[in-house]
Structure 1
Amino acid sequence: MGSLGSRFQSTSTRPTEEVSEEVCERKGHGCECRKRKRTSHCECDSEPEEDDSLLDTPRRKKLKSTSKYIYQTLFLNGENSDIRICALGQEWNLHKVYLCQSGYFSSMFSGSWKESNMMVIELEIPDQNIDTEALQVVFGSLYRDDVLIKPSRVVSILAAACMLQLDGLIQQCGETMKENVSAKTVCGYYAAASIYGLDSVMKKCLEWLLNNFMTNQNVDLMKELGVDVMEQLIQSSDLFVMQVEMDIYTALKKWMFLQLNPSWEGPLKQLLPDAENWLCKRRTDLGEEEPFLSTEEGSPYAPVFRHIRLQYIINDLSSARILERDNILPPDWLSAMYKQQWFTMLRTEHDNDHGPQEANKEEFELNSMRCGRKLSKDGDYCWRWTGFNFGFDLLVTYTNRFIMFKRNTLSQPCGGAVSLQPRRHLAYRLRLASFDNSGKLVCSRSTGYQLLTLEKDQEYVVMNLDSRLLFFPLYVCCNFLYTSPQSERRMEAPEPESSARSAS
């Protein structure tokens, strides 16, 4: 019984059902009954008399908003119009008080222009991007609080908004463009942003291209990309490269072929063979010995190819042979680079150049090696990028959510010469990224610009990853600088005596 009584007692005193009494304070009833706090009624609630408080309770009823009424009545129906705007063969019955929100019309009506007192205005439209549908949206925006802008129509609306000097609508167009950058829109958006001065949109488009031009190559996009935009991409150290610098050269070869043969149609995998056959046919049929970029047809593309970092192509024998075979680049470009790399190799061997030891971001941005790798799914990976890097054999490992660098000297086999210097230095930046189907960044990580010293066979954890932030496929992009920047290099020539002693 004691336990049963305890259970009843605990049940009656549960906190969620705590009971206390208070005097009902309803005015006008003179009620002195007591009610429970947990309820919202007392005994007076059972009285049939209507509660005065209900008379003061508002009832919700959805009414037509003022904005919608104005838009329908004044703009669409044109009621009480005091001015008619004619443009592109269409007429709009509008109102000066609303048109004055536009800087264009405000200046027109407030100045000494002849149109300030006219009832009908013929509007000249000098911009071919503006059409009647865009004008309908822009004029209508003056009569409503919000405007829905289709991404496919945003350039025309932006053009009209800029002409009529509607800053708020211009900003909204810019936001719409930035949210909808893709392979289909990026070139058009970039061109429009350049015309109408939307720097933030241009920056967003360039970022998208830097991330996607190499990682997700697209034939239609290559056809659209002009020389000016391509030059900006190729010169940037932020270009997301898959594999090595040679792949940039190969991509440019395909791009140039499409620029000169825009009617080409076919799958992406057929593009490179057709581009190479076209170049070969020119060399054989026309008997051209002159490099293609030196010809009249090829010269417009020389500024773009000029930004290829040839030092990271000629460090691989098979790649160097392809350059010679293609005969696209002028010989003096290559000979100058061969000379530079030869002296760099001699310096690392005989002048104790152990790599960059002081921060020099400018040199890094201009001359760092660009390379990358795609990890299709989670797992364990270990790789190196091809090419001779002055005896610095760098292995990259992805395992257990860690990315590590290892300077290999003796622990792993290597096909080329390996430096046995006690310490080597390098500058690097490693970036990770995942993209959705439209090429928009889903996640990204970066180490930023870093300096690193590695001893023989030493490993270094570059990045520790949070599994919750990883999405596959995962793209890894690296920049490396293995030799000292020019400002750090020792330029003095060796003394003849020491050379003689070495020879003996």
Structure 2
Amino acid sequence: MATVTHISPMNGGGCSSGNSIGKIFGNPLFHRGVTSGFQAVSVLKAPVKPFRGHVSLERMLSASSHGRQRTQAGHTNRWQLRHPLGSDLLGQAQAERTERTMRVALNTSLRTIRTADSPQPCTHDEPPLPRLTLLASTSLPRSPRRWCLPFEFLICVLMMMCFCVYLLCSVPGHPSKATPEDLFYLLSRSVVHYNQPDVVLECLGSQWELHCPNLTKSGTLSDLYMSTRQQRARSLQDRAGSGKSGKDKSYSRPGSSNSSRDRQNGKKPAGPLVLQLSVKEATVTKEALSFALRTLYNPEACPEHWGEGVLSTAALLGLPHLFQRCLTEMINKISSSTVCVFHRVSCKFKETSLQRACERWLELYLVTELTCFIYLRDLPFELLHKTLSSPRVFAACEYQLLKTVLYWVFLQFNPAAQILPSHRFIMTFFSRAGVFLEQPVGQRFTILFRALRLHGITQRAHLEEMQQIHVFPQSWLLFIFSKHYYTLHSGGDMQVTDFSQQAVRFGMVIEREPQYCTRTIGLYGFYFLLKAASIGELDSHGFSLQRLKHWDPAMSVRACERHPFSMMTERALSYQINVQAHVHGQWQEFNSGPINQEFGLTKRTCKSQVFKVRGLSLPIFVTFALAFAAV
């Protein structure tokens, strides 16, 4: 029952009880008179909610007047009271709603949240207000009940967020601590919205939880699922018929809602079906299996490395789309470090597209790239011989192919080498006593040296090197030198019976702008300028050769002083221009075919026809094959 309280002024002036109460309650409830003191104030006019179950008048009157403790909130000039105000109804309602939500959704360790970044106590003259306590039996008006997420779902979301932060915050430069099983679980659960698994695959010592809609994308797992399901059904029928109870081979995640519901209904929990897949292929690893299973949920997922492991796993699980995608990625990623491995994989799976791509890459980059790396030792013998015998193999000159074979043979006898040694060191290795090709250890390499066009090596320095290394028998060297001698003294006449096998090749590469390249070559006293340049439109290129005079500026002084020079005014030449480049993402070859032409010293007769090709993209590999027909 409400009462009326009359407060009369005290004699003696300014420091009255009215002043103390006024400081506590403020002006709205108590007004200090100027001449007549305090007037009667009815408590019935005050709101009831602030006094209901929260703060009593006696506690407020008995509060200490030593000062109010405040806390600085953040780094700004804002101060936060240590205790809430009794008249802050909106703050009380928000606090109650927050407390109710946190009690349902979060655990105990997350309920206490500090809002002051740098708490600094500050003392004022006002007395501290009592701490506001929210009681469970408060009669404050409650808001309508809102929809809340299940507690298990919120816990799962919180765990997944923490796991994502754990993966993203790993130390840069170090491998992630996440296991293949964790990566698969993270992706699969996020795709299926944390539904219970239908199947558990036991493979490579781990358990992989799968779902039927995604399982059907794998032919092997679908067949295994159907056979295991039929076997399980027959086993249950046999047990029901015999009246015996046995343990069903199933897997259930502890604490699942389905298992608890089945136990409450008195039914036997029916967990996921367990599939067992044995792996005999050593290249199928957990990393490859995890990635292959992740593609069942996200077809656009990418592994760390495309290679034999992914291809073997795709073949094991019966994933044709992943198998073809892996083949395409491997073809696009052929390089010096992968070409040998990819070719071996193509032969293992009998994939002709990957095999042709590796062989095509070797025809262009065997001399220009692979010879410069230690990966040359992984090149099989048969593949090297096939590449050397190909008419499309590219090299700047015939000596570069001989150098590649010597490097490869050296690496076969020194498999422990970690880096490619210098050219001088390799030449010293072959300068030991005894002819290499005549010894038992070197006779099996004879077929490789016979695939080379040794008659096309005409430079004096290269011929001297062939004499210094003890690789070729004396009969081979005598045949090569005598042939050069007679050809040089006969005006360049070459005994050519097969142009495709006996023509001398010279190559050059256009790799960057400006798309223009020239090279001066000499053959038996005749010198030519090889040209390759873009003409007219940007995608058109022209290729030609021009005979040079001995006083031409393109001729070097050393070539004029140390090399022979033929003064014949007319010379018949058979030449062929071969261009290889990327066209619409595929390597294509453009060949002019053998062309016979008389080259003179005049401006009208010294140039060849221009071989034009359109639609080429960099890099462009150009090979000029030359042969002097006997007159």
Shorter-chain TM-score range: 0.5 to 0.7
SS in 2 for 1:152: coil
**For 1:141, which of 295, 298, 320 is the aligned residue?**
295
Aligned CA distance change for structure 1 residues 264 and 80 (closer, same or farther; 3 Å): closer
Distance 1:311 1:96 in 2: 67
The answer to whether the 8 Å contact 1:381/1:398 transfers is yes
**For 2:579, which of 419, 431, 450 is the aligned residue?**
431
Distance 2:503 2:367 in 1: 17
Q: Following TM superposition, by how much is the alpha carbon of 1:200 offset from its aligned partner in structure 2, in angstroms?
A: 1.7
Asked if residue 406 in structure 1 is aligned to residue 406 in structure 2, the reply is no
Q: Following TM superposition, by how much is the alpha carbon of 1:309 offset from its aligned partner in structure 2, in angstroms?
A: 1.1
Q: Which residue of 2 aligns with 1:131?
A: 285
Q: Which residue of 2 aligns with 1:160?
A: 313
Identical-pair percentage:
18
Distance 1:208 1:349 in 2: 35
Q: Which residue of 1 aligns with 2:422?
A: 271
SS in 2 for 1:264: coil
State the aligned residue count. 387
Measured against aligned partners, the alpha-carbon deviations of 1:64-117 in whole angstroms (never above 9, x if no partner) come to: xxxx99943787967242x4332221122335675454343455567xx78963
Q: Which residue of 1 aligns with 2:467?
A: 324
Q: Following TM superposition, by how much is the alpha carbon of 1:460 offset from its aligned partner in structure 2, in angstroms?
A: 2.0
Q: Following TM superposition, by how much is the alpha carbon of 1:201 offset from its aligned partner in structure 2, in angstroms?
A: 2.0
Q: Which residue of 1 aligns with 2:335?
A: 182
Distance 1:306 1:222 in 2: 20
Aligned CA distance change for structure 1 residues 441 and 344 (closer, same or farther; 3 Å): farther
Cα RMSD (Å)? 4.4
Matches within 5 A, 1:365-376: 365-373=500-508
SS in 2 for 1:184: coil
Aligned CA distance change for structure 1 residues 120 and 430 (closer, same or farther; 3 Å): same
Aligned CA distance change for structure 1 residues 95 and 308 (closer, same or farther; 3 Å): same
Query: Which amino acid counterpart does residue 544 of structure 2 have in structure 1?
Result: M
The answer to whether the 8 Å contact 2:219/2:317 transfers is yes
The answer to whether the 8 Å contact 1:395/1:407 transfers is yes
Q: Which residue of 2 aligns with 1:117?
A: 231
The answer to whether the 8 Å contact 2:306/2:330 transfers is no
Gapped regions of structure 2 (runs ≥ 5): 1-184, 233-272, 536-541
Q: Which residue of 2 aligns with 1:437?
A: none
Distance 2:353 2:587 in 1: 21
Q: Following TM superposition, by how much is the alpha carbon of 1:408 offset from its aligned partner in structure 2, in angstroms?
A: 4.4
Query: Which amino acid counterpart does residue 456 of structure 2 have in structure 1?
Result: Y
Distance 1:265 1:100 in 2: 47
Query: Which amino acid counterpart does residue 90 of structure 1 have in structure 2?
Result: S
Measured against aligned partners, the alpha-carbon deviations of 1:254-294 in whole angstroms (never above 9, x if no partner) come to: 2322332233355x6x52111112223xx2xxxx32x2234
**For 1:306, which of 450, 455, 465 is the aligned residue?**
450
**For 2:566, which of 406, 415, 418 is the aligned residue?**
418
Q: Following TM superposition, by how much is the alpha carbon of 1:169 offset from its aligned partner in structure 2, in angstroms?
A: 0.9
Measured against aligned partners, the alpha-carbon deviations of 1:220-258 in whole angstroms (never above 9, x if no partner) come to: 33233332332232222222212x111211222223223
Query: Which amino acid counterpart does residue 302 of structure 1 have in structure 2?
Result: T
**For 2:607, which of 436, 444, 459 is the aligned residue?**
459
Aligned CA distance change for structure 1 residues 212 and 294 (closer, same or farther; 3 Å): same
Structure of greater Rg? 2
Asked if residue 192 in structure 1 is aligned to residue 345 in structure 2, the reply is yes
SS in 1 for 2:608: strand
Distance 2:282 2:409 in 1: 29
Measured against aligned partners, the alpha-carbon deviations of 1:4-51 in whole angstroms (never above 9, x if no partner) come to: xxxxxxxxxxxxxxxxxxxxxxxxxxxxxxxxxxxxxxxxxxxxxxxx
Matches within 5 A, 1:13-412: 71-72=188-189, 79-81=196-198, 83-94=199-210, 98-105=214-221, 117=231, 119-144=273-298, 146-150=299-303, 152-216=305-369, 217-242=371-396, 244-265=397-418, 271-280=422-431, 283=432, 288-289=433-434, 291-313=435-457, 315-334=458-477, 363-373=498-508, 378=514, 383-388=519-524, 392-397=526-531, 403-408=543-548, 412=552
Q: Which residue of 1 aligns with 2:261?
A: none
Q: Which residue of 2 aligns with 1:30?
A: none
Q: Which residue of 2 aligns with 1:41?
A: none
The answer to whether the 8 Å contact 1:409/1:456 transfers is no
Distance 1:443 1:233 in 2: 16
Q: Following TM superposition, by how much is the alpha carbon of 1:317 offset from its aligned partner in structure 2, in angstroms?
A: 4.1
Query: Which amino acid counterpart does residue 272 of structure 1 have in structure 2?
Result: H
Distance 1:398 1:366 in 2: 24
Aligned CA distance change for structure 1 residues 70 and 311 (closer, same or farther; 3 Å): closer
Aligned CA distance change for structure 1 residues 398 and 134 (closer, same or farther; 3 Å): closer
Q: Which residue of 2 aligns with 1:449?
A: 593
Q: Following TM superposition, by how much is the alpha carbon of 1:310 offset from its aligned partner in structure 2, in angstroms?
A: 1.3
Measured against aligned partners, the alpha-carbon deviations of 1:392-415 in whole angstroms (never above 9, x if no partner) come to: 543324678664312347775863
Q: Following TM superposition, by how much is the alpha carbon of 1:167 offset from its aligned partner in structure 2, in angstroms?
A: 1.5
Q: Which residue of 2 aligns with 1:18?
A: none
Query: Which amino acid counterpart does residue 329 of structure 2 have in structure 1?
Result: T
Q: Following TM superposition, by how much is the alpha carbon of 1:377 offset from its aligned partner in structure 2, in angstroms?
A: 6.8
Query: Which amino acid counterpart does residue 395 of structure 1 have in structure 2?
Result: L
SS in 2 for 1:127: coil
Measured against aligned partners, the alpha-carbon deviations of 1:454-481 in whole angstroms (never above 9, x if no partner) come to: 3313212435689x9786xx76532314
Query: Which amino acid counterpart does residue 318 of structure 2 have in structure 1?
Result: Q
Decide which structure has greater helix share. 1
The answer to whether the 8 Å contact 2:543/2:577 transfers is no
Distance 2:546 2:407 in 1: 35
Distance 1:340 1:78 in 2: 81
Distance 2:461 2:353 in 1: 42
SS in 1 for 2:391: coil
The answer to whether the 8 Å contact 1:408/1:456 transfers is no
Query: Which amino acid counterpart does residue 276 of structure 1 have in structure 2?
Result: M
SS in 1 for 2:326: helix
SS in 2 for 1:372: strand
Q: Following TM superposition, by how much is the alpha carbon of 1:424 offset from its aligned partner in structure 2, in angstroms?
A: 1.3
The answer to whether the 8 Å contact 2:288/2:310 transfers is yes
Query: Which amino acid counterpart does residue 429 of structure 1 have in structure 2?
Result: I
Aligned CA distance change for structure 1 residues 198 and 470 (closer, same or farther; 3 Å): closer
The answer to whether the 8 Å contact 1:249/1:308 transfers is yes
Gapped regions of structure 1 (runs ≥ 5): 1-67, 357-362, 435-439, 491-504
Aligned CA distance change for structure 1 residues 296 and 124 (closer, same or farther; 3 Å): farther
Q: Which residue of 2 aligns with 1:52?
A: none
The answer to whether the 8 Å contact 1:134/1:156 transfers is yes
Aligned CA distance change for structure 1 residues 408 and 165 (closer, same or farther; 3 Å): same
Distance 1:459 1:114 in 2: 77
Distance 1:428 1:228 in 2: 28
